[in-house]
Every structure is written in C-alpha cells, then in structure tokens.
Amino acid sequence: MSAVTLDDRLGTRWKKPPLISNSTLRWGLMIGALIYLVLAIASLDVNWARVAEGLSRGWAFVTSFFNPDFVSRGSDIWDGILESVIITITSTIVGIAISIPIGLGAARNIAPLPIYLICRGIVALSRALNEIIVAILLVAIFGFGPLAGFLTLSFATIGFLSKLLAEDIEEMSKVQAEAIRATGASWLQWINYGVQPQVMPRLIGLSMYRLDINFRESAVLGLVGAGGIGATLNTAFDRYEFDTAAAILLIIIVTVMVLEYLSGIIRAKVQ
C-alpha cells in the first residue's frame, strides 16, 4: 500500500469487503435467491386445517415428557429394549469382524490393486444404500422381525467402519511398519506389529461410536418392521399413547448418553 493511500485511510473505519465485488452481480444473485425462495414456499401444498389439528397432538406429545408412562406397557417396552440391545450388539460384533479384513484390503498402501478395487467396491455399495432402504428390502425377503434388523445394521457397519479404518491405515506412519518389515517378518506379523498398534485406538473408538449409532438406528428400523424398540414406539404412536412413546424415547436418550460416556472412557484408556 502506498504512503498516500495509507494516509487517506488513517482515521477512517475499516469495512469488510463484500464476498462478490461486482455490486450488480451481487444484488442480482440476492434477488434471484429471494424470488426462488418465495416461489418454493408458494409451491408447498399445506393443509392448514390439518396443521392446526396436529398442533394440539404435538403439544400433547411434548407435555407427555413431563409425565412419561413406564408402567402400562412396561413388558412391551422391556421386550423391545432387550431385542434392540441384542440386535445392536450382535450386528456390531459381526460388522466389526467383517470390516477389519475389508478395511485392510481397502487401504491402498498395503493391498494390491485388484483386492483394493474389490474392497472399495464393497465399501461403496454399503455406503450407497440407506439403512431404511436396506431394511425394507430385507423385511421383504426375510419377513418382519429382528433378523432383518440384524442384517441391515451389520451391512451398514461394514461400510462405515471399513472406510474409516482404511483411511486410518493409509495415513499411518510408514516408519514403524517398514521397521517391522525390515526384520523379515511375515505379512501377518507385519500387520500385527507394524500396522495394528497404530490403528487400534482409532478402531476401538470407531467401534464404540458405531455401537451407539446401531442402537439409535435399531429404533428407527423397527418402524419398518425390522424388530427392536422401534416397533413398540410405532405402536405407541399409532394408538396416540404419547406418555408411553415419551418413556421409550427417554430410555433411548439415556442409553445413548451412557454409551457415549463409556465410549469416552474406553477411548481415553486405550490412547
């Protein structure tokens, strides 16, 4: 900046420059965005009478959280929670067991190209399909029940964990791995002593994170017939038993918070 320009600006308040310097283009984009927003809102087909009717139900649902009913359908809630816990734990364990070899194969720095492409294809397929879509498909194949939920969450765990594990392996330090390889170790020994110690804390943390995701997802999958507490929750909503629905949601929230707390403790222990 020249001395003249600096002298001109001394004593004047600094003003942040606009994101788009051309004022015509800037105002044109803002007006265009505003027109699009107005047209988009106007295109919505809203039944205001139904909205007004639903507001009272919504308020009843909100107030039910102050008086949740854990007793009236206590046995159903307990059965649903137990089924969700079983689905969550089994699907997480199976998903992790399958994810580890796929994650190793999907890491470009340790896997040959054909295996890398196959494993990356499996990861991409798992991540491309939403859990709800997979659950609906599996319910159509295997029928209503926890088996569809177990298979859905195992499938989702593979895509989630394999991708993050592969990325962690690709970013690991090469020094330790090369040092183990230089000793003449076999491939399994190289993975066990050169790779595994570097990614194990991250793998445990991700596994705990996936565990609480699977518990939350098991509640959602129950809405489409894949078992778990979601089926009980869906029944409560269908019967307008908001106090029971509130009790189920509170149990889910508390369980997820406990899992999150345990996850933090375990991650701190292994790191």
Task: Give residue-wise pLDDT tens across range 14-59.
Answer: 778 888 888 899 999 999 999 999 999 888 888 888 888 888 888 8
Question: Is residue 63 a part of any domain in this protein?
Answer: no
Q: What is the CATH number of the domain that holds 229?
A: 1.10.3720.10
Task: Say if 136 falls within a structural domain.
Answer: yes
Let me know if residue 70 belongs to a domain. no
Asked whether residue 197 is assigned to any structural domain, the reply reads: yes
What is the domain extent for residue 154? 75-270
Angle, alpha carbons 118-124-126 (nearest 5°): 105
Do the domain assignments include residue 88? yes
- CA-to-CA dists, residue 86 to 143, 210, 240, 258, angstroms: 18, 15, 27, 17
CA dihedral 223, 228, 232, 234 (to 10 degrees): -10
pLDDT in tens, 102-134: 999 998 888 889 999 999 999 999 888 888 888
The answer to whether position 50 is within a domain reads: no
Cα–Cα distance, 186 to 195 (Å, whole number)? 13
Residues 6+ apart with CB under 8 A from 235: 76
Tell me whether residue 27 is in a domain: no
Terminal-to-terminal C-alpha distance of the chain = 50
What's the CA gap between 65 and 249, in Å, rounded?
9
The domain tally of the chain equals: 1
Residuewise pLDDT in 10s, the chain (271 residues): 555 566 666 777 777 888 888 889 999 999 999 999 999 988 888 888 888 888 888 888 888 888 888 888 888 888 888 888 899 999 999 999 999 999 999 988 888 899 999 999 999 998 888 888 888 899 889 888 889 889 999 999 999 999 999 998 888 888 888 888 888 888 888 888 888 888 888 888 888 888 888 888 888 888 888 778 888 888 888 888 888 888 888 988 888 888 778 877 877 776 6
Cα gap 268→201, rounded to integer Å: 9
229-233 contacts, C-beta under 8 A, 24 or more apart: 229/77, 229/80, 229/81, 229/83, 229/84, 230/80, 230/84, 231/80, 232/73, 232/76, 232/77, 232/79, 232/80, 233/80
157 in any annotated domain:
yes
